[in-house]
Structure 1
Amino acid sequence: MALILILSVSPFRWRTIVSSKTLSRPLQLKKGKPAGKGTITITAEEIKDNRAIVLEMEAKNLDKKVVKNNLNPTWKKFTVPLQTFCCSDLERPLKVDCSDYDSDGSHDLIGSFITKVSELQKTAHGSPVQFDCIHPEKQKKKKSYKNSGVVSVKSCKMEAQYSFLDYVMGGCQINFTVGIDFTGSNGDPRSPNSLHYMSPDGLNQYLSALWSVGQVVQDYDTDKLFPAFGFGAKLPPDYQAAHHEFALNFNPTSPYCQGIQGIIEAYRSVLPQLRLSGPTNFSPIISHVGSIAASSMQSNTASQYFVLLILTDGEITDFDQTRDAIVRASRLPMSIIIVGVGPADFKAMELLDGDDGVLRSTVGETVARDIVQFVPYRQFKDAPQTALAQSVLAEVPNQLVSYFKMRGLEPPKPKAAPTS
């Protein structure tokens, strides 16, 4: 019998494990139902070697088996953590197999060779390192056999590879901003059919989504002061034009709320004073947070990163302007999370999420990196609160690392504790 362990832990939950070093929990078949007497123990161990090996390889005159009829393939550059590649031992023997790939898994061996990282590093002197690709069966059968092709290592470099935790534990601050949709399509907040209607327990979909995501993100912001904005509503006292970026606490010079609870209190206080209107414009709030993120780049350090959470009920009115704002933001230390509440069709949101293709601006400029994550709340309405948080925050750690890697910025060095 094979025992398979699938361990799924949100990067935003690793802090709990890292701080306690060892964490034990009883095994459960379902929530609240223990699976016998078994327990699972997770131990956190610091990996001190954060080096990765970056390789560029090609081959010539391979046997006639190669995909796409190319006997002289050039493979894409790839990166592997050094600990995974050779247990950080530069003299450790490595066997390299070159095979003809078959989609059904029956790959055909072309040939093999033995090397070690210290040999691969000889490419640093300017010329490729070459290896005869040997098929053992052919070598036995033919005395005149030389090889089944030659594999060349064009480039072998070492580079530091940092993780999300490296940046956060080094002191990188995650600045959390919230934008809430108050457009008329949400329905009159006094009606039970409205998405802004408060149930007897004082909650609605907006607050439930905010609480699920915010209680996790807030642990990474030391001052717990979060800017919170609304959009798509007419404001007192004149209730004239709709506002597309107003402070939830009605204080434009200091839109900060103390923790997630502070945002919830501001929301409950402002909701009865608003007149829901429209249209649904995202670009103003994205550009606002983007301007703050851009100003943080002046320090040229990996000390600040910005996460914008947008809670909305429907389609975007300013789709083209929003595309342009996202493309600009992709070059900034910033991620955008969009949670769709209610039963609406969110096709436009899925287009903004770059998982299924490359987002382009109205003039054809592509995003520098994927920074948008969209999740419909209805998929998690009856799930534990942590499920929504894990889903919407799943991509943020890699987005943060990809930005600082793009800028060539290492994690901040933790400050030494003051001495008496």
Structure 2
Amino acid sequence: MESQLGYKVQLFISCRNLKNVDGIGQGYSDPICFIYQKSGPGAQANWIQIGRTEEIKDNLNPDFQKSFLISYFFEKHQPLRFEVMDGDNKTGKYELIGFAETTLGAIMGAKRQTHQVELTHQQKKGQQGQIIIKGDSVKDSNWEITMKINARGLPSTTSCCICADNNPFFEIYRGSNADSHDQQWFKVYNSIQANGTVNPVYNFFKLTGQQLCNSDRNLPILVKFMNRHGLENIYLGSCVVTLQKLLDSREFQLTHEITNARTGMMVLENIRFVEKPSFIEYLRSGWQINLHVAVDFTASNGESHLPTSLHYLGAMNQYEQAIAAVGSILEPYDNDRSFPVYGFGGIPRFLGSQVVSHCFPLNGNSSNPEVQGAIGISHVYRQNLPHITLSGPTYFSHVLNQVTQTIRVKQHEALYNILLIITDGEIHDMEATKDLVVQCSHLPMSIIIVGVGDEKFKLMKELDSDDALLRDSRGQTAVRDVVQFVKFKKYIQQGPEKLAEKVLKEVPDQLVSFMQAKNIKPNVQSFLQQ
């Protein structure tokens, strides 16, 4: 019988000798790598982006921190494409340095699962550099580690008494196995840079057990201290530890790997080891998932009687496909399968209204906006769409206010809420929306935004704060990431199942992160008694 899940493997990406595509005097390239997987039958298969690394400034030999989990099927051909680009923070555009195509089988079948490929460019001759892809097996765990690492007495790299050139940072690599004589290192963390000191103090950071040591307390961990000097990184010293040693000790001698000279101390100021309950444990203990839906009826969608409209009812349109894909997955997690559904940005004439409303019940019942099941949502959408005049602008804050009020009324019930917003345009009340999203991070709630149509959705990507937690207008930071944005066209060509998978993939971790933030154990009674 064919495996349905395959083996989970983790891909780590590095590049060497990249071609510098920046102009003379502009520094080095700022590389970022985009990863694509071929999906679809035979000649109809398309390259689908499955992720991208972080962007590293001024570096022609990057070791990317971000890695990628992927299912590996020994019996299948799994083509992969890696595009290494030079980023430009000013324009937000990318210039191709080079690309490479290979297969997951070639990576996992390579010696020590390390596959090195020359980058090529269709329009440029000569060497573009090499990409190195390393594969590692994945051992899952439900625990995470929060640490604060500092250093003391690092070597000074300045030639005078002023410490302006001492800009140390550290990198963490996990080993591949317990045998120190046959070791590979996979980069898992890069600290910020501390300026003007040989006794740097750094921020707290958090890694899962799988990230830090592949869930093995005795796996070697390399901590390497570097100094940023102009465009170069100067090696200062390193130490090899294990998670168990980090839990048992607080100070570690740094040495130079070539001269073996002592080069300072790594000081572990704090470490917290937390075992996380799983998403399944919360479901087993009685937690349910409640879906709320909001549909965009702004004029930018196009008049619904026209075939070019995103609301055209001649066939199942993008709004209906998104509702069906997400609703069908979430419906079984709600006992009564009844979901509040709202419209926004239109004039709901079926309610007798003559003015635009930014939050109205799509079923016409303001006291009970709930609709039965995903099919019921589609039904009221089709029934009332002809009686809604498309208008605008696109405001999210009214819907967010309505949904958060409902959640607060039911905050003592064991309900985790998902707000699905389907929209075709950019937000016109961004500041108010960001303020409310930060508030939502304190509630049992996730926000999923599906972008339909051809907009670039730049502001939606800002809300989907994967790289840094969102801040509101008062400078307050969200306690967790609650927004997931997905562009409909990017995934629907792979089928509604792929769209639903991408839309919902972050929900289990977001639910668990909320429970952790509130110190809620997977026991309904303990929650109800709070």
When normalised by structure 2's length, the TM-score is 0.58
The AA in structure 1 aligned to 2:362 is L
Q: 2:389 aligns with which of 266, 275, 278?
A: 275
Tell me: CA distance 1:82–1:388, structure 2 relative to 1, closer, same or farther (3 Å).
closer
CA spacing shift, 1:137–1:333, aligned 2, 3 Å: same
**Is residue 2:336 matched to residue 1:223?**
yes
Q: Match of 1:351?
A: 462
Give the CA deviation at 1:229. 1.4
- The one of the two structures with greater contact order (alpha-carbon pairs below 8 A, sep at least 6) is 1
1:242-391 map, 5 Å: 242-298=356-412, 303-355=414-466, 359-391=470-502
Aligned to 2:316: 203
Matched, 1:411 2:483: no
Give the letter for the 2:313 counterpart.
Answer: M
Who is 1:188 aligned against? 303
Aligned length: 367
Q: Is the 8 A contact 2:155 2:236 kept in 1?
A: no
Give the equivalent residue in structure 2 for 1:61. Answer: 153
- CA gap 1:220/1:106 in 2 versus in 1, 3 angstroms: farther
The question of whether the paired residues in 2 share the 8 Å contact of 1:183 and 1:233 is answered with no
CA distance in 2, matches of 1:271, 1:375: 24
The answer to whether the 8 Å contact 1:97/1:111 transfers is: yes
Deviation at 1:263, TM superposition (A): 0.8
Q: Who is 2:226 aligned against?
A: 100
Work out whether residues 113 and 132 of structure 1, in 8 Å CA contact, stay in contact via their aligned partners in 2.
Answer: no
The gaps in structure 1 that reach 5 residues or longer are 9-23, 36-44, 124-128, 140-144, 416-420
Relative to 1, partners in 2 of residues 1:264 and 1:121: Cα closer, same or farther, differing over 3 Å?
same
Counterpart in 2 of 1:12?
none
| Alpha-carbon distance, 1:227 to partner | 1.2
**Partners of 1:88 and 1:234 in 2: how far apart?**
54
1:325 maps to amino acid: L
Instruction: Identify the structure with the greater helix proportion.
Output: 1
Would the aligned equivalents of 1:239 and 1:275 in 2 still touch at CA under 8 Å?
A: no
CA distance in 2, matches of 1:337, 1:86: 32
- 8 Å CA contact 2:347–2:354 kept in 1: the answer is no
Secondary structure of the residue that 1:250 maps to in structure 2? coil
Q: Give, in angstroms, the shift of residue 290 of structure 1.
A: 0.8
**Letter aligned with residue 406 of structure 1:** A
**2:246 and 2:492 mapped to 1: Cα distance?**
53
Offset at 1:220? 2.6
Paired residue type of 1:100 = M
Report the alpha carbon displacement of residue 352 of structure 1 after superposing the two structures with TM: 3.0
Selected match of 2:510 from 377, 395, 399: 399
Secondary structure class of the residue paired with 1:254: coil
Whether the aligned pair in 2 keeps the contact of 1:81 and 1:161 (CA below 8 Å) is no
CA distance in 2, matches of 1:84, 1:184: 46
TM-score, structure 1 as length reference: 0.72
Change (3 A) 1:137 1:329: closer
Assess if the C-alpha contact under 8 Å between 1:207 and 1:264 holds in 2: yes
Equivalent residues of 2:237, 2:256 under 8 A apart: yes
Whole-angstrom distance in 2 between the partners of 1:272 and 1:132: 72
Paired amino acid for 2:368: S
Q: Distance in 2 between matches of 1:4 and 1:132?
A: 35
Is residue 112 of structure 1 aligned with residue 239 of structure 2?
yes
Q: Higher strand fraction: Structure 1 or Structure 2? A: 2
Q: Over aligned residue pairs, what C-alpha RMSD do you find?
A: 4.0
TM-aligned CA distance change 1:278 to 1:160, over 3 Å? same
Q: Specify the SS of the correspondent of 2:460.
A: helix
Q: What residue is the counterpart of 1:27 in the other structure?
A: 76
Q: Deviations over 1:326-381 (max 9, x none)?
A: 23222222121122222345333333333466544444444333322222323235
Which amino acid in structure 1 is aligned with residue 463 of structure 2? L
The structure that has the greater radius of gyration is 1
Deviation at residue 83 of structure 1 after TM alignment: 7.5
Q: Which amino acid aligns with 1:225?
A: S
Partner of 2:486: helix, strand, or coil? strand
CA distance in 2, matches of 1:366, 1:86: 29
